[in-house]
Amino acid sequence: MWTGLVFAGGGSERMGRDKALVPLAGRTLLDRAVAILREAGGEPLVLGPPRETPGMAGVRFLDEAADGSERQGPLLALQHGLRACATRVVVALACDLPLVPPGLLRYLAAEGENHAAVVPRARGELQVLAAAYSSACLEVIERRLASGRLSVHGFLGEVAVRLVEGDELLPFGGEDVFLNVNTPDDLAQAERFLAARKA
């Protein structure tokens, strides 16, 4: 068993509204992320403020800013998620990555049993919010946060990382599945992708 960490605490400035609640093919981005993780075999834990949407029944929320403090980015959220879950492996999925298929997340979780971190790389970019992390990462993350270093990418230089890239991504849809939905144009592109996949 593994935990699926849904990253849903971003500011959504470029979208102009709460991105987690933006509808895509009949479901909000948040509902879609939770459903993808469940289908992959994970137990969802949403990192961000609670939202009441149809797909949130029985889902736990963990909001690091619930006490009024300011959100400090995904590395702090990852730390909170690793601390709060009871599983050795977590799989991160940002709610604005709606095209990542369950099969890829299942694959990352399985690989995470043998590596500190398992991170896809698409078009030269590490997909740190569609990746698997083990509890072995926690000490490094806490040390970096204590010294004010907040980059998720940065801490990966201090742990054993297994990269998933190139032909290894092809069975899961290739690099296109990492489309990040930040703007209305991105949302329209994701709609077209899902329509083509369904056809």
Domains of the chain: 2-198 (3.90.550.10)
| CA dist., res. 37 & res. 85, Å (int) | 15
| Under 8 Å between Cβ of 7 and 77 | yes
Distances (CA, A) of 84 to 31, 43, 47, 64, 121: 21, 12, 10, 11, 27
Q: Tens digit of pLDDT per residue, the chain (199 long)?
A: 899 999 997 666 566 678 899 999 999 999 999 999 999 999 999 999 888 888 888 899 998 765 545 557 899 999 999 999 989 999 999 999 999 999 999 999 999 999 999 999 999 999 999 999 999 999 999 999 999 999 999 999 999 999 999 999 999 999 999 999 999 999 999 999 999 888 7
The model's pTM: 0.93
